[in-house]
Amino acid sequence: MTMTWTKKDLLDMESLSRDEIVMILETASGLKEISERSIKKVPTLRGKTIVLFFMEPSTRTRISFDIAAKRLSADSISIAASSSSIIKGETLIDTARNIEAMRPDIFVMRHSSAGAPHLLAKHLSVGVVNAGDGMHAHPTQALLDMMTVREIKKDISNLKVAIIGDIAHSRVARSNIVGFNRMGASVTIAGPPTMIPAGIEQLGTSVAKSVDEAIEDADVIMMLRIQKERQKNFLMPSEREYAVRYGLNRMRLRRIKPDALIMHPGPINRGVEIAPEAADGPHSIILEQVTNGVALRMAVFYLLAGGIRNADSD
């Protein structure tokens, strides 16, 4: 049975079924080889327009959405809050409605407030993709993480995934807990007690007593940056202490499984949550995550913009 994509928006992992996750991952795997060609472009989304509206800093996500659009021949336009009329007092919804009046096909948004993309999705008829909203969700990051693990481990349903660090302020952690859990993996988190939110187990994770307990039999170890920009006060005495007590340092690296995968969504703070030996060593798949981010975002555009229909008519 061929499944067809029916959703207008991609806002969070909670709203994706297991079949929809598999559909995105398999579409991304199929599109990945386009980036390996000498001419990295196909006409699939020719004539489509994609707006990238980033109201928070980004390197990986914004650039890979932009590259993804261009590889599919869509026209992409980037706007930052600082260069938009939001600084003159225009509301987010008015801004988005004015952009929609220019007839784009997909609106990608990163925003510091949880729920901002969901609000836009309610007010706009154009498809909205959440590129990270506050501490809430970062669905394309979780999907590219799952794609990368699936490529190497083939089946993710029986894996043990450990997510370590500042869980409380991490939209990446929330989306990965929900996503890996939905695919049947078992997810454990660990970190400083001040960075573990109460009730996080309800998302489908267990909380380990220590980082050592969480990583000792993990197939996948995902390290997270301390999100200082979201902390009112720094929740640890010092970065040095954090590195010793919670970081994936040289001592811990010696104790992980021989085939364990080390991941990080980036940006990394070397020597704090992850030692250079872990970030750059043989277990690390951090740059593979970045590579797959392009294919994954191509898949999201392809599905949301009706790429199957266009591909058939090309």
Site residues (vs ligand CP, CB under 6 A):
58-61, 132, 141, 265-267
Q: List the one residue out of 273, 21, 64 whose CA is nearest residue 169.
A: 273
Residue nearest ligand CP, Cβ-based: 61
Nearer residue to ligand CP within complex by CB, 110 or 182: 110
Residue type, 216: E
Structural tokens at position 125: 């008829």
Q: How far is the CB of 220 from ligand CP (least distance, A)?
A: 16
Residue 193 CB, nearest approach to ligand CP (Å): 25
Residues making up the chain, counted from first to last: 314
Paired with 90 in beta bridges are: none
- Of 58 and 186, the one with the shorter C-beta distance to ligand CP is 58
Instruction: Tell me what percent of the chain is helix, strand and coil, each rounded to the nearest 5.
Output: 45, 15, 40
Least distance in angstroms from the C-beta of 174 to ligand CP: 13
Query: Measuring CA to CA, which residue among 101, 110, 127 is closest to residue 60?
Result: 110
Q: What is the DSSP letter of 178?
A: H
Closest contact distance (angstroms) between CB of 106 and ligand CP is 18
CA separation for the pair 163, 298 (Å, rounded): 26
Cβ 130 to ligand CP, closest distance in Å? Answer: 11
- Residue closer to ligand CP, measured from CB, 208 or 278: 278
Which of residues 48 and 264 has its CB atom nearest to ligand CP in the complex?
264
Compute the chain's Rg from CA coordinates. Answer: 19
Which of 49/176 has CB closer to ligand CP?
176
DSSP run (H or E) holding 80: strand 75-80
